[in-house]
Structure 1
Amino acid sequence: MITTINPYNGKELQQYQELNKKEIKAKLETAQKTFEDWRTTSFEHRANHLRKVGALLRKNKESYAKLMTAEMGKPVSQSRGELEKCAWLCDHYAANAPGYLAKEHIETEHFKSYVSYEPIGVVLAVMPWNYPFWQVFRFIAPALMAGNVGVLKHASSVMGCAELIQDIFLEAGFPEGCFQNFVIGSDAVEAIIENDIIKAVTLTGSKPAGAAVASTAGKQIKKTVLELGGNNALVVFKDANIDSAVEECVAARFQNTGQSCIAGKRLLLQEEIAEEFLDKFTQKVKTLVSGDPQEENTYIGVMAREDLAEELEDLMNASIEKGAELHYGGSRDKTYFAPTILTNVTADMPVFKKETFGPLMAVTTFKADEEAIRLVNNSKFGLGASLFSTDLKKMEELAAQIKDGAVYINHKVASHPALPFGGTGISGYGRELSHYGIREFVNIKTVVIA
């Protein structure tokens, strides 16, 4: 039995009966049967259904947002924003998938040569709790437009959201087997990956989870896409627009109560502006409203589980023992972790080296550009970085020296339907979104007519 709990008040929300092996087998067979028909449908047919999903997200966003907030503690205004972004994604792929997957004609010595992008079958998604809708939609929207079908193993703590997403696709007119949620625990995933019906796997989550899924899939010679978190740096140079950079950096760290793979977790300040920036940054953080995530003006809710808040507290305390200074915050009450700023952070401290998945900012200073880039790259993660400066030409040059999958200049790292999303190092491999994402799970077929 899977039980969902409201992290704000600790109350039980719902219980869900886990699928047994026979039920899992039947659902996989339904997916495969549906795929055989779905793959033959037109882009127009698929797009019409996907637009209906987007319309339902917009129409019912109030009730959907309340469930999301109840299950994982996201402030309800941000839950609404997540749903709006999912609707945008649906519209984007409905409009652009035909172009993304159009045949590419290539000039060769043959009479005719081209590349076609064809569906591969049933794709398994293993998704986390921090963005219960977005993480699923950025997988399933392109998958369905490509002619594939999907099955979902969602985080147990947001099983209500997972079931709701399944219902939304059915209400929009998709056949039952196009998208199915599996009410299962992690122990059932390996056997599902090993099933011949599953052709590929995408996972967003931790490094251990990604390694386990990739290992199982690799033994079956099945493709995987992994998005495994990040330790993004926010680099503020001495010529930056301080006020706008403060706004971006606060949002980058504290949105979603800091529980985001692309959150800015390491704040690198050039010495000349460090004091001014830190003062303004701190004043802004002090204005962030903590409280009941269902309240409209709440910006900092609670963390999704108490053990996650405890882990963050341990990283903070271990870093303080190594010499970091508690500049602001630092308190915890069950799942609530106060917005926190640590200064004098060095590269050997846990809050610099590890992913801090919560509302804690680690502040480090630097002297020259070269030192800043070394600090950015001094991480096993490689998801993204943000650079703040008025010298755009120099920032583009520095961006080329950063190993991450994305560099944003004068803006927080963010995902966008038209841009590829993914990382390097232990942040994973493969890309989601844009034409790169939709082509991850297709057969890139060469056709030659002599």
Structure 2
Amino acid sequence: MTTITTVNPATGEEIETYETMNESQAFSKIEAAHRAFLDWRTLTHEERAPYLRKIAETLRNNSEKFAQLMTAEMGKLLKDGHTEVEICARICEYTADNGPSELADEERKHSGGKKRGIVTYSPIGVIYSIQPWNFPIYQPLRVLAANLMAGNAVILKHASICTGSGLLLRDLCLEAGLPKGLFDVILVGHDVSDKVIEHKLVRAVTMTGSDGAGSHIGELAAKNLKKTVLELGSNDAYLVLEDADIDLAVKTSVQGRLYNNGETCVSAKRFIVTDAVYDEFVSAFVEQMKAIKMGDPRDDDTQLGPVSSDEQFETLVEQVKKSVDGGATILCGGDPDDREGCYYPATVLADCLPGTPAYDDELFGPVASVIRAKDDEDAMRIANDSRYGLGGGIFTKDEDKAIRLARDHFDTGMIRINSFGAADPAMPFGGVKNSGYGREHGGFGMKEFVNAKAVFLPS
């Protein structure tokens, strides 16, 4: 029997060891989820809503416990852990409040105008949810809330480094009164996970992670004729245009790059700055990045904690080295000290060129890539010169121009104007190109895994 051992990235101390499941054990969870689904699907949307409100209440009541565990497992700042729990509670409440109307039957007239029809959004069964470690509760919860409202069951395979967080989420859902089996966690490796995708009772797959993993999972699911939703990261570009408020742009860019220790798929990563304001922005940006306090993620005054693991630390070291070898210049950071734990300093790379990680890839940590653009048009061109397309941002004093660029030219799923933020329950979340497909939040996620069923009436 193989095991999973979780490790605190701030100290290197082992937290807990778990036994993984074999194929038979994992399949028994799927079968139990299907049995729970058969009862759950008979409830109305209004009858499901109170369960979500109770989960929200239970999460808030256990906020400190959950935040402490997330900090221990992946190095999240403790205060950010509390914020994550609150976001999850709000998602549950948004889904409970809006789900019944979003998923209500729709009456339609036939094209001839004389006959009627009904479109009903029926649940489909067990949804397999494969989630990463950077938001240990938010990532699985946003899938869970939408699918519980839709009437589905959910089986979660969480990232191994936050196994405890996945199990705690399940336990708190049970404490909140969710029927046993409707949401459960499997502890399996990639080989068993592939068999889960192929299981006849698994009707759809949703996954957040790398584009390489997404390609494999999407291919296997498609081979088995199962729908997928994939959110696959990005190297989001934030444009600092010629008429930007530089003070606002700098403050927001520091926040956007370092939020969640720089380990956020939809965070600011590439900063594309027009020549007219390049020197002013870069000088102030580097000054503020240098001033960031790195330390114990449990301390209130810490601004930057460790990255999530030794593996993530070494990946970041290698990406920065390759970028520098390819012509990038380190303006600050880039030289981890010898302290215990996976601490990587706030880093700014300039002169980032195509063909290097800082320009082409996702640097999942506190490393900012600065790229000079000739003008606003060139900045937009560089922003779209990416295989990714999850989020992005625009700094300009001309809101109409920003909306026009965002709507008509920015080839991403989400764009922030003169601001930064990760997600909002009322707005769709998802990307294009190698950042994946499908949408969550804003009512869209509730309809990803339902059967839009047409019922034709005679008159």
Aligned to 1:317: 321
Aligned to 2:97: 95
Partner of 2:446: 438
The answer to whether the aligner puts 1:362 opposite 2:369 as a matched pair is: yes
Counterpart in the other structure of 2:222: 218
Matches within 5 A, 1:19-38: 19-38=21-40
Look up the match of 2:390.
383
Deviations 1:182-208 (A, max 9, x none): 122222111111111100000000112
8 Å contact from structure 1 (residues 382, 424) kept in 2: yes
| Structure 2 CA distance for aligned equivalents of residues 310 and 15 of structure 1 | 23
How far the C-alpha of 1:413 sits from its partner, in A, is 4.9
Contact 2:88 2:138 in 1 (8 A): yes
Query: Aligned-pair distance for 1:101?
Result: 0.5
| 1:273-292 alignment runs, 5 A limit | 273-292=277-296
Give secondary structure in 1 for the equivalent of 2:284: helix
Q: Does 1:346 align with 2:353?
A: yes
1:297 aligns with 2:301: yes
Give 1:154's aligned residue: 158
CA distance in 1, matches of 2:27, 2:274: 57
Find the counterpart in structure 2 of residue 127 from structure 1.
Answer: 131
Give the count of matched residue pairs.
Answer: 450
SS in 1 for 2:444: helix
Match of 2:429 in 1: 421
For the residue of structure 2 that corresponds to 1:293, the secondary structure is: coil
Shift in alpha-carbon separation, 1:180–1:324, aligned structure 2, 3 A: same
**Superposition CA RMSD, Å:** 1.2
Contact 1:385 1:413 in 2 (8 A): no
Aligned match for 2:171, one of 167, 170, 175: 167
Q: TM-score, normalised by structure 2?
A: 0.96
**Per-residue CA distance 1:81-108 (angstroms, 9 max, x = gap):** 1111001101100100011101222222
Q: Quote the offset at 1:20 in angstroms.
A: 2.2
Q: Is the 8 A contact 2:242 2:375 kept in 1?
A: no
Paired residue secondary structure (1:446): strand
Q: What are the superposed Cα offsets for residues 394-421 of structure 1, whole Å, 9 maximum, x if unpaired?
A: 1122121111111221112531111111
Match of 2:197 in 1: 193
Whichever residue aligns with residue 416 of structure 1, its letter is: D
1:295, CA displacement in angstroms? Answer: 1.5
Residue 437 of structure 1: CA displacement?
A: 1.2
Per the TM alignment, residue 310 of structure 1 is displaced from its structure 2 partner at its CA by 1.4
Q: What one-letter code is carried by the residue in structure 2 that aligns with 1:446?
A: A
Ranges in structure 1 where 5+ consecutive residues have no aligned partner: none
Code of the aligned partner of 2:148: L
TM-score (norm 1): 0.98
Q: In structure 2, which of residues 392, 407, 413 is the aligned counterpart of residue 405 of structure 1?
A: 413
Deviation of 1:330 (Å): 0.7
Q: Secondary structure at the match of 1:338?
A: coil
* Aligned counterpart, 1:232: 236
Question: For the Cα contact (< 8 Å) 1:382–1:403, is it kept in 2?
Answer: yes
- How far, CA to CA, are the matches of 1:445 and 1:42 in structure 2? 16
Partner AA of 2:379 in structure 1? A
Q: Distance in 1 between matches of 2:298 and 2:28?
A: 38
Other-structure match for 2:310: 306
AA at the equivalent of 2:96? A
Query: CA shift at 1:238, angstroms?
Result: 1.9
Checking the alignment, whether the CA contact within 8 Å between 2:239 and 2:394 is kept in structure 1 is yes
**Secondary structure of 2:269's partner?**
strand
Stretches of structure 2 lacking an aligned partner (at least 5 in a row) = none
Measured after TM superposition, the shift of residue 242 of structure 1 is: 1.4
Instruction: Give 2:366's aligned amino acid.
Output: P
Is 1:82 aligned with 2:84?
A: yes
> Letter of the aligned partner of 2:72 in structure 1?
A
Q: Could you tell me which amino acid in structure 2 is paired with residue 369 of structure 1?
A: D
CA distance, structure 2, for counterparts of residue 117 and residue 43 of structure 1:
11
Does the 8 A contact of 1:431 with 1:437 survive in 2?
A: yes
* Residue in 1 that maps onto 2:121: 117
SS of the residue corresponding to residue 443 of structure 2 reads helix
Moved segments of 4+, more than 6 Å:
none
- The amino acid of 1:106's aligned partner reads R
In structure 2, the residue matched to 1:52 is 54
1:256 to 260, 268, 274: 260
SS at match of 1:2: strand
User: Which position in structure 2 is the counterpart of 1:330?
Assistant: 334
**1:192 and 1:426 mapped to 2: Cα distance?**
24
Contact conserved, 1:19 with 1:183, CA < 8 A, in 2? yes
Deviations for 1:124-155, whole angstroms, at most 9, x for unmatched residues?
00000000000001100010011001000000
In structure 1, distance between residues paired with 2:320 and 2:136: 27
Checking the alignment, whether the CA contact within 8 Å between 2:49 and 2:96 is kept in structure 1 is yes
Alpha-carbon distance in 2 for matches of 1:106, 1:251: 47
Give yes or no for contact 1:53–1:172 (8 Å, CA) kept in 2.
Answer: yes
Q: Is the 8 A contact 1:407 1:413 kept in 2?
A: no
Q: C-alpha separation between the residues in 1 aligned to 2:169 and 2:314?
A: 30
Q: Displacement, 1:45? A: 2.4
Which stretch of structure 1 is more off in the superposition, 315-324 or 431-440? 315-324
1:435, 1:75 → 2: CA distance?
A: 30
For 1:241 and 1:369, the matched residues in 2 are separated by 14
Q: Which residue identity does 1:418 align to in structure 2?
A: A
